Structure 1
């Protein structure tokens, strides 16, 4: 699995309000050390590029998605495939070109899919039960296939990311005052724009940043929403009952995380502004797992300008360039309290990414493998305290 969660570019060319902010660097709590320990695995007899995306509330089945064939795959707890179907394309019950977020169970018999055409609800036999279409024009220029951009709040509400409300002049620049996420009511069949760019974020300083760097990443846990941005070293904590402004904003205690510099808006034509390949390879959030009072984050630190030049020297092909950069821009993981205090974390050397967590606090992860396999596997891990 590519560590960028398979960046998918859909461009013609390849291209606020924080009530309180903790801006000081957090001091690492050396008294607390944890290890991500693998305790089990699930293997599926499937050839492709399947990602495991969720476990049902009763923990009897897994949901997956093949990134090559665009098939949805449902298995039992042992990994035996029970259902497999394809809903891509313009068929009557299809989602369109592709999904834009990991599909998620909303209960034991239905799952939700987010696409540029809205949120689709299917049963386990693949029958379409409902479509909630947005009441505005969706504009998606950049999508990370496999991004965790759909989260269940309760059985009647999900939060997802759909671009368009905040777009400026048809370009790839967003109005910082526009909503970043959508709260979807599955009963009333409507969308509500939520969460503006927090004032505490460096992305709200008046400079222009490409969408590939300002894309929101988030997770929901209990009554809280944790908001990150792909190339920002802060995160923001919201109460789901009051999404007008974050309760707190905190520095993320990265050891290394390269930040892109914004452009002066007086020198930028929003309608013509395009990002360059270099922009993709700054630091990047991949996904976030919430565990009680802790957050564990998968990210890539990105490359400095010199590292980028060295990694891509003599390479003209964009695919080969991605592969070369992947070798040096390794996925890392960081553990912190939900107030930003860093905690020591040991995790497997060949860690690739997080998939999801279950109700028992088990974290499903991928590990790198240099060998081609005729099966898919996800590893079940637990966060264990060492002292």
Structure 2
């Protein structure tokens, strides 16, 4: 690993402590800072997606989308193993995993797909599999990076489980009434159990048609509580982690310029189409790091830019428009307390991507390539949230 020790951001925001002690002034200002404290650089020609990192095992995991191969390294950037699996190979897991692969130890990688739970060594030899019973197999969407992760909870695994199509389609109220956001997976049997309906107050319960991708849940677990945000619905929902998953809180999020998608007239929507409209806001990742919640989101566009986006007719128009709005509407990060109080809201710092994980009370982000220089490596940065007093 490369030690960097430079300040990524100077003072971002100041908030006031409301719980002073005898040795601290209650009005003393506290500064939150994001600081890059370490990095891992992997010599590699190609584009990698970040999946997992485990400092205790000296391991990091990536995925090459073009080659459809998993790449494991140590934390000095040395490649230790690579493998890919054909969709129909006897030891394969299907077309794609439901979430990023994760390390079980130094030499074992776990993947979960709609077909079950699979364990491989670093060279791709199948060590164990627990295949989902055929009558339980469903067409869950997948993800090749750590925007979605596998969460071990007790003797089960917890994942996001987006089904873009069910017996109902997006133009029917029943699609939203029966929609379940998360999945319990038994790693011994491969059995999968969907659970957690949309909140009754969700924007998705407004009798309009919504793109299924905007319902994608992001979540994290702390002790016996489940923290969930449902894609384009700007609320933090907190539940008990055990059935019947009693709702404890529903907290409105104070997101900067967040454009809520009201949905489409069901009579005009194409029930077969699945798309995504970037002109509306989307919350892609929620994670807990130490005593903080971290949210990554896009804001969507102002009305005039949305109208222009929806009128684009050519690839050239799209390229020009995308170059302009890419500078105007940058992804954002928000830091909250575990009670949902906003502490920090900033544009995503330069070169940090939107794929990150929380490990040992620190964050690891993918680093975006330099657009002006051809690079032959892929890098992830360790970022810490630090608190200081004036």
Tell me which interval the TM-score lies in, with the shorter structure as reference length: 0.7 to 0.9
Aligned-residue offset at 1:69? 1.4
2:156 matched residue in structure 1: 157
Question: In structure 1, the residue corresponding to 2:213 is in which secondary structure?
Answer: helix
1:1-387 aligned at under 5 Å gives the runs: 29-30=15-16, 31-56=29-54, 58-128=56-126, 129-133=128-132, 135-140=135-140, 145-146=144-145, 148-154=147-153, 156-164=155-163, 167-169=166-168, 174-265=175-266, 267=267, 272=271, 274-275=273-274, 279-310=277-308, 316-317=314-315, 320=319, 323-324=322-323, 325-344=325-344, 348-359=349-360, 361-368=361-368, 369-370=370-371, 371-387=373-389
Tell whether the 8 Å contact from 2:97 to 2:142 is kept in structure 1 after alignment: no
Query: Aligned partners of 1:117, 1:148: CA distance in 2, in Å?
Result: 20
Query: Aligned partners of 2:345, 2:169: CA distance in 1, in Å?
Result: 43
Tell whether the 8 Å contact from 2:164 to 2:212 is kept in structure 1 after alignment: no
Q: Summarize deviations over 1:125-149 as a string: whole Å, max 9, x none.
A: 3222113326434235x65543533
Query: Aligned partners of 1:322, 1:86: CA distance in 2, in Å?
Result: 36
Q: Summarize deviations over 1:279-309 as a string: whole Å, max 9, x none.
A: 2431111212202331111111111331134
Query: Aligned partners of 1:214, 1:44: CA distance in 2, in Å?
Result: 34
More RCO (CA 8 Å, sep 6+): 1
Name the CA shift for 1:300/1:351 in 2 (closer, same or farther; >3 Å).
Answer: same
Q: CA RMSD in A?
A: 3.0
Tell whether the 8 Å contact from 2:145 to 2:355 is kept in structure 1 after alignment: no
Tell whether the 8 Å contact from 2:41 to 2:378 is kept in structure 1 after alignment: yes
Tell whether the 8 Å contact from 2:116 to 2:190 is kept in structure 1 after alignment: no
Q: Summarize deviations over 1:33-84 as a string: whole Å, max 9, x none.
A: 3111001110001111112211237342111111221111111121111111
Question: In structure 2, the residue corresponding to 1:85 is in which secondary structure?
Answer: strand
Question: In structure 2, the residue corresponding to 1:150 is in which secondary structure?
Answer: coil
Q: Which structure 1 residue ranges, 5 or more long, are not aligned? A: 1-27
Aligned-residue offset at 1:166? 7.6
Query: Aligned partners of 1:146, 1:50: CA distance in 2, in Å?
Result: 9
Query: Aligned partners of 1:112, 1:146: CA distance in 2, in Å?
Result: 14
Name the CA shift for 1:45/1:54 in 2 (closer, same or farther; >3 Å).
Answer: same
Tell whether the 8 Å contact from 1:195 to 1:245 is kept in structure 2 after alignment: no
Q: Which structure 2 residue ranges, 5 or more long, are not aligned? A: 1-13, 17-28
Aligned-residue offset at 1:100? 3.6
